[in-house]
Chains A and B, each alone.
Chain A
Amino acid sequence: MNFLQIFSGASNMVEGVDRSFVVIFGISLFFLIGITGVMVYFIIRYDKKRNPKATQIEGSNTLEIVWTVVPLVLVMVMFYYGYRGYAKMREVPDDAMNIKVIAYMWDWDFEYENGKVSKDLYLPIDKPIKLNLTSIDVVHSLYIPSFRVKEDAVPRKDNYLWFIPQMEGEYEVLCTEYCGLRHSFMGAKAIVMKQDNFNIWLADFTPVDSGTIKGLEILRANACIGCHSLDGSKLVGPSFQGLFGASRTVLVDGVEKSVIADEKYLIHSIKEPNAEVVKGYPANVMQSYTKLLTDEQITDVANYLKTLK
């Protein structure tokens, strides 16, 4: 990875952002080195041994005006370049492909126009992409460093960003707004591919039946996945991934017992979470969901969990 990847152009936003960097860094470096140099020179040149008597100078109006006006002009130049790079970010072309981005603790869902939902962001090269961001819990922020784009995903607010990917490859997608326990693990990949390959990828999916989608929505709405991950990582409670059909050692009143996680077990664990606690996890952390979910909703959840291999 080279230092700034200046103007390397993984997306069409790189140029504007990096130009504003270069302008500001250039001017700043000049002043930093210049002023520091002058200061060090004065400290050496006017040391009390070399210059035992100070010359009293009250100030100079001319100089005050100069060093008010010159910085003012320079910062306006900086402002202009910042504005120019940014203005482009807000003007989305009409033919942009829309992708809905749903952020939640702690993962991203990318939903394409044909209904396909992906955990990674697959993109066709050289095509304007508009990401419509939203969150279902707290504030997150979608950041793709190589593309120089970032915008917050705010609950009940429709934010967006757009760009044109210009180089094939795999790029990091990160969350930059602190969102709790697994904030630093809330990553995904942006995968830029040729249009043909992208079309094949996009067409290849089995539309999920509405029952499973409902299950996932219920899990999110009740913040279940705050403690039970969907990707196998260990949080406060056991992960949902690969849970269905697996054998578990549970504690029943302090006695170990082996059970198979079938539908009956799942429903029982939602209704009476502390009756059979999986070994290695704390008891009495989760409350019963009998009053919070209908039987139908609990069945939807169980059906969804069956699909999480």
Chain B
Amino acid sequence: METQKSHLNYIEDTQGRKGIFAWILSTDHKRIGILYLISITTFFLVGGLLGGLMRLELAAPGETVMDAQTYNGLFTVHGIIMIFMVVIPGLGAVFGNFFLPIMIGARDVAFPKLNLFSWYLYMTGALLAVYSQFAGTGAPDTGWTFYAPYSTDSSTNVIPAVFAAFVLGFSSILTGLNFIVTIHRMRAPGMTWFRMPLFPWSLYATAWIQVLATPIVGITLMMIVAERWFQIGFFDPALGGDPILYQHLFWIYSHPAVYIMILPAMGVISEIIPTFVKKAVFGYKAIALSSIAIAGVGYFVWGHHMYTSGMSGTARWFFSFLTFIVAVPSAIKVFNWVSTMYKGSIDVRTPFLYAASFIFLFMIGGLTGLVLGSLASDVHVHDTAFVVAHFHYIIFGGMGFSFFAAIHYWWPKMFGKMYNEFKANVAWLIVFIGFNVLYFPQFIIGIQGMPRRYFDYLPQFHTGHLISSIGAAILLTGIVMMIVNLMKSRKNGNPAGINPWGGVTLEWTVPTPPPVENFDEIPTITEHPYTFD
């Protein structure tokens, strides 16, 4: 293990602030990353618990532990928390904030104060979302999609929930803007675009989606508010509006939002694989440019959420065609990751286990997405449990597993301590098994005709639902084990050293944990980011 010069790291160096103020007033990108880590983990656990309660209700047909209204509130709140507060900000806000500046050789992001302000916006939106659950007329029951005219009619707390999503959107826009400027202006001398590591590349592609697509959902949500408050008929046919217009506007953002969460996930995987294979990533340019291709084409496929809405026939096949096209750059990445392993010298450690299982789960999610992109087969499985299984494989199997990979990969650098690797691997196995037992049966009952967002179901779906609920229990156990193991390392872990995995990107050259300004001297970059010798 490399010895390091004694230094004052960002956790010790409170910059003269006391207690909690050292955190909530600091503009250090690393401290802000930790703030996001704590907030997002908390909301992830809340959202996961709500999901667990839904699975408990669905373990047997009929009303078991809650009534239909409670269930409808649960899946709405589960969706809002997980989508807007966990997976969309997730990787960018936590690991992007912490590592983007270090990986490109900068001392901070371009606008540190704006960065802190984004966290405050995030918390405001999050608290509004929590408020909407408990105050007034009861938890919103519209689904996270807020489809009109149900959302313009429902007597529940739709307005606070809509405002929550609106404010969270602003946080996302500002973070995106900050990252774009940081990447353009603050790369270390010699770091050309094609000498930039792949995680920053993916954050760059993502940031453009955040900045360009998020305002659309903001305006759409405000139109719902205008409709509810002032009876302006945008979407409600009773007021002369068009409910299909709402669906278009909603998915114009919410489809690209899928890429806001999955692109950084792919970026993380592209960092982890070379480190543990001890080999330059295969097809660096192809991976970097396919991120841009996904971000570009991804804007024009939103209609695949609406094949049964009564959209024109031409629109349906056009959206289907583009949906199939956007699958190709994702396939390119998978081929390159696997090829990276060829003739490597592979060190199978916890982050690598999560990364390899990411590839497997992401393939299942992506390939089942083709079933949904195809016009004829979508008609059958649209809005069934098949869709639920598909997007959980992408969002949780993809973004979630990538987050778990990232936390195990960068934890030693962030906190300076190594966790118990054996326990981490056991937790990985339980999480992996639990995940598949939870979601795989939903593909099958979906094909058999089990609709989604159902509080109750026909008896033939009982077995599938029961297995799925057992999977949920296994998964929750694994996640708790994983978190406990990580937390324990803060006290009991061995010092991690500068470079525990033998990585070659810049974050492995700075002291552990990094000092406030990251670098004593900004490095000059002379070669490709993944040069192992």
What residues of chain A have their CB less than 8 Å away from a CB belonging to chain B?
Answer: 1, 3-4, 13, 16-17, 19-21, 24-25, 28, 31-32, 35-36, 38-39, 42-43, 46-48, 51-60, 63-64, 67-68, 71-72, 75-76, 78-79, 81-86, 89-90, 137-139, 141, 143, 145-146, 148-152, 154-157, 159, 172, 174-185
Contacts and interface: CB of A to CB of B under 8 A. Distances in A.
B525 interface: no
Interface stretch (B31-39, B44-52, B143-151): B143-151
9 contacts: A24-B371, A48-B346, A64-B283, A82-B375, A172-B449, A176-B384, A184-B454, A184-B456, A185-B456
B149 to A, nearest CB: 5
Contacts of A35: 334-335, 338, 359, 363
Report which residue of A149, A154, A184 has the largest number of chain B beta carbons within 10 angstroms of its beta carbon. Answer: A184
Contacts of B244: 154, 157
Interface in B433-473: 444, 447-449, 451-458, 460
A28 B374 CA distance: 13
Contacts of A68: 328, 332
Contact of B317 (A13, A86, A149, A157): A86
Given A39-B356, A54-B343, A154 B147 contact: no
A71 B331 contact: yes
Nearest to B75: A178
Interface residues of B, number: 85
Contact of A46 (B346, B454, B532): B346
Contact of A180 (B154, B285, B345): B154
B391 to A, nearest CB: 15
Given A138-B150, A183-B453, 8 more contacts: A56-B532, A85-B377, A86-B379, A89-B379, A146-B449, A150-B379, A181-B69, A182-B68
Contacts of A59: 282-286, 336, 339
B243 to A, nearest CB: 6
Given A47-B348, A179-B150, A184 B342 contact: no
A58 B328 contact: no
Contact of A54 (B237, B238, B345, B359): B345
A234 to B, nearest CB: 11
Contacts of B377: 17, 20-21, 24, 82, 85
Chain A to chain B: the 5 pairs with minimum beta-carbon distance, closest first: A85-B376, A145-B449, A82-B374, A86-B375, A28-B367
B277 interface: yes
A157 B310 contact: yes
B324 A46 contact: no
Interface string B292-311: 00000000000000001110
B329 to A, nearest CB: 8
A180 B141 contact: yes
B280 interface: yes
A179 B316 CA distance: 23
Contacts of B334: 35
B517 interface: no
Interface string B397-414: 000000000000000000
B379 A148 contact: yes
Contacts of B423: none
A42 B367 CA distance: 22
B325 interface: yes
B195 interface: no
A47 B390 CA distance: 32
B378 interface: yes
Contacts of B150: 138-139, 178-180
Contacts of A179: 150
Contacts of A185: 456
Contacts of B278: 48, 54
Nearest to A143: B451
Contacts of A32: 363-364, 367
B374 A51 contact: no
Contact of A24 (B346, B348, B374): B374
B320 A184 contact: no
Interface centre among A13, A63, A139 (most CB of B within 10 A): A139
A176 B171 CA distance: 33
Contacts of A75: 324-325, 327-328, 370
B189 interface: no
B72 interface: yes
Contacts of B374: 20, 24, 78-79, 81-82
B313 A90 contact: yes
